[in-house]
Amino acid sequence: MDTRRTLWVALAALVGAAAGWAHAQAPKGAPYPAKPVRILVGYAPGGATDIVGRLIAQKLSEASGQSFFVENRPGASATIASEMVARAAPDGYTLLIAATTSHSILPSLMKLSYDPQRDFAPVSLLAISPLLLALHPSLPIRSVADMIKLARARPGQLSFGAGGTGTPPHLAGELFKQMAGVDMLYVPYKGEAPAIADIIGGQVSLIFSNVVAVLPQVHGGRLRGIAVTAAGRLPSLPEFPTVAESGLPGFVVEAWFGLVATGGTPDYVVSRLNADTARGMNQPELRDRLAGQGLFVKTGSPADLTALMRSETAKWAKVVKAAGIKLE
């Protein structure tokens, strides 16, 4: 009787293993998606992450003939949404719009209930968002080189604002301080709008801001734009040099947005999502629409996104440690 039971257990295990292997090795033509797919966004509607999420949801719906829909789960610095996807079934029906803050910065600032790299299956990079360095026009600064010179001459007198500690605009300022060897005062705000308002009013010297938030003030003459933090000049803003070319070689800050699934999602599902994402995101009208929001389409393979997440996590960990940044 024991022998017969042992054989049944072994047979069941073999059947289970075979089913798992078949699931992982299913061909690209397998029926995915066979039901609606939700894409979680860890922020409230209207922000950059939400905009990117809704656009890719639309394109994936068009490509598959199945419904991809955004579900906003804001709170706790986007960790609520991230944890939900990390703990979801690895079947490709629960996805996440991952971003620089949630997946590359937070690991250095707080203890997370999930591993941003191990617990997710990267699908594709979606877009990047460089920042625009802008300052009060009364300052005698016309270039990054001027800014470094003035900051060194007046240690601690220049100040920079940001709409939240640990955000890309804040860490851009800290990285600038470290690379240029200057001392500037960080002034935290609850949102980018009040920070920009105080710079216009002269209470704060400068800001590394999301392009779409600060550009109207620059065009209106209330602020002076100096440089973008991108790796190269932006086609839509060719009048602004990069920080790297205008005084601080090697300085690049590009917030990223990517599509990820739950860790363990079958390769054929990831491959299907990656291919549909590349086709959808690189359509001219979508690229133009995002560029108008200060977001620039950039896609790639799952391996490309994996490498980016790792390099960005290491980069910001060094900045956070050197600056001694702590979340309140």
Supply the angle between the helices 302-323 and 168-180 in degrees, to the nearest 10. Answer: 60
CATH 3.40.190.10 domain residues, the chain: 130-228
The CATH code for residues 130-228 is 3.40.190.10
Q: Rounded mean pLDDT of 305-321?
A: 97
pLDDT band at 327 (very low <50, low <70, confident <90, very high): confident
CATH number for 35-129+254-323: choose from 3.40.190.150, 3.40.50.150, 3.40.50.300, 1.10.10.10.
3.40.190.150
The whole-angstrom separation of Cα 80 and Cα 91 is 20
Q: pLDDT of 216-255, one tens digit each? A: 999 999 999 999 999 999 988 999 999 999 999 999 999 9
CB-count exposure of residue 140 (10 Å: 0-12, 13-18, 19+)? exposed
Sequence ranges of the chain with CATH classification 3.40.190.150:
35-129+254-323
- Give the predicted TM-score (pTM) of the model: 0.88
